[in-house]
Amino acid sequence: MINLIKLLAVTAILFLIFIIATDLSAATSETANIELTTSPIYSGSAVINPDTNYSPVSGDKIVDQGALGQYTPNNYLQFDAFDFHGNYQGNYAQELTPIPDPTDTVSLPSNFPVLGNVFTLEVQVYSAAHDILGHRTIIGNDANPSGREKDRPPTITFNKVNGVNQIRYGFGVGPDQKGKRRIIESVVTDNQWYHIAFTFDGTTTKLYVDGIEVDSSDFASGLTPHPVPISIIGRKFLGKIDEVRIWNIARTQGDIQSTLSTTLLGNEPGLVAYYPMNVNQDWELIDQGPNNYNAAITNVEILQRYSSTNCPNPNGTFACPYLTINGALDNSQGGDTIFIKNGRYSEVLFKELLNQSYETEGPKLTLKGESQNVILDGTVPLTTTWQLVDGKYESSVDMNQLSNAAGAKVEDIYGLWIDDRYMIPAMPVNFTNPTDITTGTQNNPEIGTVFDKNITAPYEYAGMVQDTYIVGDINNLDAAEEWSFDKVNNKLYLIPGQKIPNTTNVRVRVRTQLLSFQFSDNLEFKNLHFFAGSFSFHKGSFILLEDSKFSHSWEVGMNYLKPGYFDFGVGRTNLIKGGTNNTVRNSIFQYINDAFALKFANSMYPLAENVLFQYNDWFKNTVWAPGATQNFKGGNKWHDDTSVVGGSTFRYITMDQNHTGGLQPGLNSLVEYARIQNQYINIDGSGIQRTRGNATNSTTRYSWLLDTNRNGMRLDSSCGGTDAVIHNVVSAGNKRGFRLKGDRHRAFHLLGYDTNQNDISMPRNKYCGDDPVNDNSETMAGNLNSRLLNSVAEKNLSAHMPDAGDPNITLGNTELIAENTSNEFLLNQSGIWYGRALDEDKIAPFTYPHFELQDPWVENRERSDTSLQSQFGLNPFINGVQGFDFRPRKGSPLLDGGVVIPGINDGQDIDPSQAPNHPPSYIGQHRAFVGDAPDIGAYEYGDSVYWIPGFRYYYPTVPIPSDGAVDVPMEYGLAFNYPWKTDYSNITAQVTINGPGVNKTVSLNYPNNVVFETFLPGQTYTWSVKVGDVSSQIWSFTVANKIHPLNDRSVNINVDDEKLIPNHNKSLNLSDGVLSFMRFDIPSSINSDYQVFLNLTPETVTSLNGQIMLYKYNYQGWGENLDTNNIGLLDHSLLTLLKTISTIDLSSSLSVEITDYIDATGEISFALGVSDPDDQLSFYSKEKMVTDGVDLYVEPG
C-alpha cells in the first residue's frame, strides 16, 4: 500500500509579508523551513497531585507505621481464604464446584504424641465473621468440624447454627460409638479475641473462656480419647490464633488464669507443646516447649498484634494509632474512614465479606492516604551483603529474612528495585530501562527501547520473534540494570547501572497480588500508590479507586500462560469482576507488563474516568487491552431476552506509549474524551475496539485516535453490530481510520486522514442482520441505513449508504463514490469532504484536508529524519512542534459547509425525534454551531470551547498552539485543557497573555477554554492559565510575519460561469482570459507602521512579452464553497488596476509592495492577469505547501 505524500512545508509559496517600515531587509526573504519535532502528549510528570495533603478529621481511624517504636509486637497466625499470592480459595463462591474450603492450616509433626485421658488445650482465638463458613476447627485434626467423628483427638471447634455461636469440645473414643462432644452456646462472639481452655482429668471435662469456667461435665467420665494425635491447628478456619498450649495435665482454673495474659517459659511441668507463633529458618512454627514439635505452615501468615503501657490495643487515635492497614480494617465498618499516614506499607490486603451489602449502595468504608507518599507496597526490603565479582554484583539471599518481612514463606523473587529504580530481569534481547520517559512514536520508536526492539513474550504464541525463554535466565545476564535469581541456591546476580546495591537500598517483589477483596462492597481507596502488586475485586459493588497510582502491577515471568489469558484465580490483571457501579477515577496505570492494566469483567455499570495508561507491556502482539467485558446479567448471552446490560463509561482516558491493544469498552458503552496515541502494537486491532455486541447501542464522541493500532476505531466482527453513535472523533496516522461494520450507525463530524488505507469505511459486507442468534450469514446490506454527515476523508471513503451516493451504483466502493457522486451532493447534502472526489483527475495525490485545518497533527512529523529524507530528499520540518489544532481554518470550504444535526450541533442536548444511546454528560455538551451552518469535521471554527480529550492533570495542560510553536496566525484562538475536577461547577480560569502589544488576563468560565486574540507579526508571546490555586507552565509561541490567502484560484472568465470545486491546485495560471484570484484577511494588528508585500513564487514562464496586471478585486465574501459565493459564479470584472509587473525571475520569488493599497484591515482580494493574450505563465498557489515526494510504503507499527 502506498503511503501517499503528506503535508510538509517548503520555501516557495504565496503569501503577504509584513515588516516594520524601518527594516526593509526582509522584504524579499523566503519563508523559513519549519522544523517539527516530537514531544510527549503532556509535559507534566505522571503524578496525581503532589500538593495534595490531607489531615485526619475527628473520628478517622489513623494508621501510622511511624509509631512502631511506641508498641511491643506479638506474633499471631492469620487464617484467611487466600493463598500466599492472594488467590481466593474460600467457600463463599457458591457457584464453584466443588465448593472450595480455605486452605490455611498449621500441621503438627507426625511424631506428635497421643494425649491420654488427662490433658489441657489452651488457645487464644479470634474467629472472623462469615455467613457460610459456620463450622471451624481451632485445634484437632482434619475431621469435619461440624461432626463428632469416632476417631478424632481432643478437639475444639467454633460453630454457628441459626445465627447462634457455639463452642464444641470433646474427643472420639473409638469405632464403637460416636465421639463425645459438648456444645456450649453464646459464650463467644465473632471478631473478638478470647482465651479458650479445654481440660479433662479422666472424669470431668471443663471449658474456660477468658479464664472463666463456662461448662463442666462428667459425660466422658472414665473414657480415654481415641489414640490419635492432634495434627491440626486451624482447619476451615478464618481469623487469628495465638498462644497454643498443649498439656498432659488437667490445669486448674487458677493455673489457667495465672498465665492467661503472659507467655510461658517453656519448661513448665506437663507442657507438651507451646506455640507463641515464632518461626525458624525453615519457616516452621517453633515449638518453644521442651519437645521441639515444630509445625508446618500452609498459607497462614505470621502477623503482629501491638500493645504498650498506654495503649493496650491500638484504636486509631492520635495517641494509639494502628500500625497496619489490616489492623484498622479489622476494627472498621461502613461509615468509617481509615486515614493512612505517609510511608511504605509492605502488607497485602486480602479480605472477604468486608462491609458486604450485595449490589446495594450503603455506608462507605474509606481508606485515604495522607499524600501521594502513602505506598501500599508489594515489595519488601532485602537485607544482604553484595560482592562485585567480574563486573556483576552477587548476593546470597536469606529467604527467611524475606519471609519475615512478608509475614509468609517466600520462595521466589519477581522484581527488583535499587533506590526505587526498576531493574530488568535478564532478557534475551537488551533494551533501555522501560520506566524511562520516551518520546518515540509508532513509526519512529526511540532507539534501544522495548518499543524499538520488537520483542515477543517468553511463552509460545502466534507471531513470535524470539524462541520461548525463561525470564531472568542467568545466561542472558549481559547488560546494565539486569538481574537474575537462582532460586535453587538462593543467589542473586545484578549488573549495576548508576544505582549500586547495598544492604539497605534494595527491595524485591515476592508476591503477585497486593489487594484481593471478595464479596466486599462500598469500599473507597483514595490518594494511594499501589506499587508492585495487582488488585482483584470479586463480586463487590460500589467500589471506588480514586486519586491513585498503580505501578508495576504485574511482571513478566510471574506466569507463562498464553497472551491475553487471564484466569480469575491467578490475578493476572487489575481486575474488578462482578458487582455493580464500580469506579476507577483520576488514576494512573503504568509499567504493567504482560497483563491487563485494568479490566472490568461481568461488572455492571463500570466507570473509568480520568485515567492515564502509559508505558505498559513490552511485547509484540500480546494485546492486553484495558476495558470492560461481559457487563450484563440475567442470561447466558448479552442478547438473551432475560439479559440486562449494565452499560460502561470510559471518560477522559489517555493511552500513550503502550505496547498494549487499544480500549475495549464493553457493552452499551460510552467512550468520550479519549486520547489513544502512540500504541506500538502491530495487530489487526484498533484504538477503540468494539465487537458485535459491544458496538450495538454504543456511543463514541469527542476523542482523538492518533498512531494507534492498525485501525483508529473499529466496530468489528464477522457480523457487525447496529445502532452505534460516533461523532466528533479524529483518527489520523493509522492504517485505517474508521472501520464501522454493521448498520443503522450514526456517524457525524468524523475526521479521518493520514491513513494507509481507509479513512472512513462503513462497508456493506460483514453484516448479517439484527438477530445475533440466527443471523450469521452476510447480507451485503451493511450500513444501508447508517448515516454519515459532516465528515472528512482524505483519500478513501467506503460508505455504503445514501449519504455517500447511490449505493446501487457505488456499492460503497471508494473509487466508485469518487467517480459517480458529485461533490456538490457530498458537500452540500451530506457535509462530506472527500479528498479523492475533490481531486480533478481522481489520481493520487488527492486533495489534502491538512490545508483545511488550522494546525493539525501530521503523521510525517512523527517520522525519523532518515525516513523523511528517503521520500522527500530532506527533512523539511525545522524549528517547530507537532500541532493539535483540528479547527477549520478561515476560508476553508469546511467552514459553514455542513448540515444541521439535531441533538449534535444545533445546541439541543437531545434530538427530539430520536433518543440518543447516551444523553449528554452535562448540559450544553453538544455545542451549537457558529456562523451560517455547522462546519465539516470534528471541530467548529469560532467556538469558545475547544474540546481536548484525554487524562486531565491537576494543573492546566495541552496548550494550543503547542508550546514552542512557530508561524502561529496573527489572529488565533488560544486553547488549553482544564485541570481535573470531580465537579466543574463555578470553575473559572484566568488566562494571562504577555508580549508585544498584548498584556492581559482574561477570565473564562468552564467549559469555555478559548481566548481569541490578535498578535503582532513575527513576535513571540508567553501565556499561562491559572485555575483556582493551580497554574500551568508558562508556554510560548511565535507569530508568523506573513499570511497566506484564505482562497486562491485560477478562473477562466471566457467560459460559462460554473461552481468551481474546492480542490487543491498548486498552480495559479495566467493566460488569455485566465485570471488568478487571491483573497486575504488583514489582521487588525496591522497598522501604518508596517509595509506589506505580496510575495509570489514563479512556477513556469512559457511566455511573457507583455505585463502582469495586479488588480484589486472588489467583491467581498467570495470563496470556494459550493454556494452562491463560489468564485466560479461571480462577476469577475469588478477589478481595479493597481500595478503592472514587466519582468520576473524564475530563480527567485517576486515581492510586490502593496502597502498603499491596504487602507483597512479585514478582507481584501487581488487578482492577477496578463496584458498580452499570447502570454502564459504560472505562480505557485498556497497549496504548494504540500511537497510531492516519491511514493513510499511505511508499515504501521
> CA 708, 710, 713, 715 torsion: positive or negative?
negative
Separation of alpha carbons 897 and 889, rounded Å:
12
Region of 630 (left: φ > 0; alpha: ψ -120 to 50; beta: rest) is left
pLDDT one-digit tens code per residue, 573-613: 899 999 999 999 999 999 999 999 999 999 999 999 999 99
745-751 mean pLDDT: 98
pLDDT one-digit tens code per residue, 161-176: 999 999 999 999 988 8
In this structure, is residue 559 part of a structural domain?
no
Q: What angle do CA 908, 912, 913 make, to 5 degrees?
A: 135
Higher pLDDT, residue 899 or 840: 899
Using the 8-state DSSP alphabet, how is residue 838 labeled? H
35, 266 contact by CB (below 8 A): no
| Same domain membership, residue 383 and residue 257 | no
Q: Write the DSSP string, 704-729.
A: EEES-SSEEEEE-SSS--B--EEEEE
pLDDT one-digit tens code per residue, 1006-1032: 999 999 999 999 999 999 999 999 999
Q: By percentage, how much of the chain surpasses pLDDT 70?
A: 93
| Same domain membership, residue 116 and residue 219 | yes
C-alpha cell at position 541: 459493588
Q: What pLDDT is attached to residue 97?
A: 56
Q: What pLDDT is attached to residue 14?
A: 66
Q: Which three-class secondary structure state does DSSP give residue 849?
A: helix
Using the 8-state DSSP alphabet, how is residue 317 labeled? S
Separation of alpha carbons 937 and 33, rounded Å:
28
Range in 325-329, 814-818, 878-882 with the lowest mean pLDDT: 878-882
308-334 mean pLDDT: 95
Q: What pLDDT is attached to residue 61?
A: 97
Banded pLDDT at 567 (limits 50, 70, 90): low
Look at residue 29 and tell me whether its pLDDT is greater than 80.
no
Q: What pLDDT is attached to residue 565?
A: 54
pLDDT one-digit tens code per residue, 85-121: 998 888 776 565 566 778 899 999 999 999 999 999 9
pLDDT one-digit tens code per residue, 469-489: 999 999 999 999 999 999 999
**Which residues have C-beta within 8 Å of that of residue 269, sequence separation ≥ 6?**
249
In this structure, is residue 7 part of a structural domain?
no
Look at residue 124 and tell me whether its pLDDT is greater than 90.
yes
Separation of alpha carbons 51 and 830, rounded Å:
50
Closest by Cα among 933, 986, 981, 967 to 1121 = 933
Three-state secondary structure readout of 343-387: EEECCCEEEECCCCCCCCCCCCEEEEECCCCEEEECEEECCCCCE
- Phi, psi (deg, nearest 5) at residue 818: -65, -35
In this structure, is residue 348 part of a structural domain?
no
| Same domain membership, residue 232 and residue 141 | yes
Separation of alpha carbons 172 and 151, rounded Å:
5
| Same domain membership, residue 385 and residue 244 | no
Banded pLDDT at 4 (limits 50, 70, 90): very low
Q: What pLDDT is attached to residue 23?
A: 30
Banded pLDDT at 41 (limits 50, 70, 90): very low
970-976 mean pLDDT: 97
| Same domain membership, residue 503 and residue 388 | yes
| Same domain membership, residue 294 and residue 387 | no
pLDDT one-digit tens code per residue, 1106-1124: 999 999 999 999 999 999 9
Look at residue 5 and tell me whether its pLDDT is greater than 50.
no
Look at residue 20 and tell me whether its pLDDT is greater than 80.
no
Strands 1162-1170 and 1074-1082: antiparallel
258-266 mean pLDDT: 95
Count of domains for the chain: 3
- Can you give the residue range of the structural domain that contains 481? 379-396+426-509
In this structure, is residue 986 part of a structural domain?
no
In this structure, is residue 439 part of a structural domain?
yes
Using the 8-state DSSP alphabet, how is residue 851 labeled? G
The CATH number covering residue 1105 comes to: 2.60.120
In this structure, is residue 138 part of a structural domain?
yes
Q: What pLDDT is attached to residue 797?
A: 98
User: How high does pLDDT run on average in the chain?
Assistant: 91
Region of 224 (left: φ > 0; alpha: ψ -120 to 50; beta: rest) is beta
For residue 586, CA distances in Å to 278, 528, 673, 951, 1066 come to: 42, 11, 14, 8, 48
Banded pLDDT at 571 (limits 50, 70, 90): low
Look at residue 708 and tell me whether its pLDDT is greater than 50.
yes
Could you say which of 483, 509, 535 is where a domain stops? 509
| Same domain membership, residue 124 and residue 242 | yes
Q: Which helix (H) or strand (E) holds 1093?
A: strand 1090-1096
Q: Which three-class secondary structure state does DSSP give residue 65?
A: helix
In this structure, is residue 129 part of a structural domain?
yes
Separation of alpha carbons 143 and 3, rounded Å:
72
Using the 8-state DSSP alphabet, how is residue 805 labeled? S
| Same domain membership, residue 115 and residue 21 | no
294, 280 contact by CB (below 8 A): yes
pLDDT one-digit tens code per residue, 1134-1177: 999 999 999 999 888 899 999 999 989 999 999 999 999 999 99
Banded pLDDT at 1095 (limits 50, 70, 90): very high
For residue 780, CA distances in Å to 693, 694, 807, 1029 come to: 19, 21, 11, 58
pLDDT one-digit tens code per residue, 525-534: 999 999 999 9
Closest by Cα among 1042, 998, 1003 to 1020 = 998
In this structure, is residue 149 part of a structural domain?
yes
- Phi, psi (deg, nearest 5) at residue 842: 60, 25
Q: What pLDDT is attached to residue 747?
A: 98
**Which residues have C-beta within 8 Å of that of residue 1011, sequence separation ≥ 6?**
973, 974, 975, 991, 993, 1002, 1004
Q: What pLDDT is attached to residue 12?
A: 41
Could you say which of 456, 488, 509 is where a domain stops? 509
Whole-prediction pTM: 0.94
| Same domain membership, residue 1047 and residue 1177 | yes
List the beta bridge partners of residue 731: 705, 752
| Same domain membership, residue 110 and residue 21 | no
Separation of alpha carbons 46 and 30, rounded Å:
42
Q: Which helix (H) or strand (E) holds 243?
A: strand 239-247
End-to-end CA distance of the chain: 14
| Same domain membership, residue 139 and residue 20 | no
The CATH number covering residue 119 comes to: 2.60.120.200
**Which residues have C-beta within 8 Å of that of residue 170, sequence separation ≥ 6?**
148, 154, 155, 179, 180, 181, 182, 205, 220
Separation of alpha carbons 513 and 87, rounded Å:
8
Q: What pLDDT is attached to residue 99?
A: 66
Could you say which of 298, 321, 346 is where a domain stops? 298
Separation of alpha carbons 60 and 44, rounded Å:
33
pLDDT one-digit tens code per residue, 884-933: 999 999 999 999 999 999 999 999 999 989 999 999 999 999 999 999 99
Q: Is 418 exposed, middle or buried (0-12, 13-18, 19+ CB in 10 A)?
A: buried
| Same domain membership, residue 1164 and residue 1066 | yes
Q: What pLDDT is attached to residue 1019?
A: 96
Q: What pLDDT is attached to residue 830?
A: 98
